[in-house]
Structure 1
Amino acid sequence: MGDSAPRELISLADDEGNSVTVNVLGPSASWSAGLNAEIVVKTPFVAGRIDLALSVSKLESWANALDRLDAGEDVAWMEMSRGPSIFIQLTGERDCPEVVVEDESGSMVTVRVPLVPPDDWIADHRQRLHQVMNYWVPMLSG
């Protein structure tokens, strides 16, 4: 990746055109310990995006979520914080993995995206997280 800033913390997509991504946009101007980010959902039926604030603790909790997913457990990421939450169910309502993006505190909208990620997706996301942490965290204070 060289010196370019890593942008995609999460990138889950399938061949059907369904995807959920979390993009890091850069340091927050209003919060020195945070990163501006966005969750982007795209499907043939619905598309949307929502702003997200990331902290070091949220990035660390994503690392824990990846460990639980690797152990075969469903996860809820950012469920206890203000703002949107992401749930990953390894076997969803349609007998395939599902990503659920919920914005209960804001728009009160929930989007359920069934998708089948590639076999190595957890290792790929650990690498994405490692790149984001190494690049962005040293820039944050607090």
Structure 2
Amino acid sequence: MQTFELFRFADPAQSVAVEVRCGAPVTTVDQERHYSAEIVVKSDFVTGRVGLQVSHEDLDEWERCLDALQAEEGAEWPAGDRSAWVDVVPDDPVEVTVHDSPSTQIAVRVPIDVASEWLEENRLRLARVRAAVSAS
């Protein structure tokens, strides 16, 4: 089973990423395939992981979020209240808030001074994850 980053916001001091395990999916009763994933936060102040499940629909939703971020609008991903989620505000620095909801209801906001090519890099990460889940 391979793990791929769906997205990463990082600077030399801190980062927020989503890692997706692209092995055998879990199929729900409505025949939707989900892949295990984790939101990973690393900084000098806090380091942590929170689990979630990612579907093909979530990948499409992340692409729409990237489009919104490119238009300098905020984005929340994944949609719904089923698991942990992130809120991204494309300010300078980019603010990524990780919400562990509904479990602990803890939220951690991480300001990240991203490199200029962050949007293109995250589109490439999305393409790699899509290819990996299509092959599974």
Q: TM-score, normalised by structure 1?
A: 0.85
Cα drift, residue 110 of structure 1: 0.2
Answer with 79-88 or 125-134: which moved more: 79-88
Map 1:65-104 → 2, pairs under 5 A: 65-91=65-91, 96-104=93-101
The match for 1:114 among 83, 107, 111 is 111
SS at match of 2:122: helix
Q: Quick one: which amino acid aligns to residue 129 of structure 1?
A: L
Cα drift, residue 31 of structure 1: 2.8
Cα drift, residue 36 of structure 1: 0.7
Counterpart in the other structure of 2:9: 12
Q: Quick one: which amino acid aligns to residue 61 of structure 1?
A: E
Cα drift, residue 6 of structure 1: 5.7
Q: Quick one: which amino acid aligns to residue 23 of structure 1?
A: E
Q: Quick one: which amino acid aligns to residue 59 of structure 1?
A: L
Query: Structure 1 unaligned runs (5+)?
Result: none
Aligned mates of 1:133, 1:29 — CA distance in 2: 13
User: CA-to-partner distance for each residue in 1:88-139, whole Å, 9 max, x for gaps?
Assistant: 0112xxx521100001201111000010111111111111101110121342
Counterpart in the other structure of 2:21: 25
- Alignment RMSD (CA, Å): 1.8
Query: Structure 2 unaligned runs (5+)?
Result: none
Q: Is the 8 A contact 1:77 1:85 kept in 2?
A: yes
What is the identity percentage for the equivalent residue pairs of Structure 1 and Structure 2? 33
SS at match of 1:68: helix
Aligned mates of 2:132, 2:88 — CA distance in 1: 26
Answer with 39-48 or 76-85: which moved more: 76-85
Q: How many residues matched?
A: 132
Q: TM-score, normalised by structure 2?
A: 0.88
Counterpart in the other structure of 2:129: 132
Aligned mates of 1:130, 1:67 — CA distance in 2: 14
Q: Quick one: which amino acid aligns to residue 82 of structure 2?
A: R
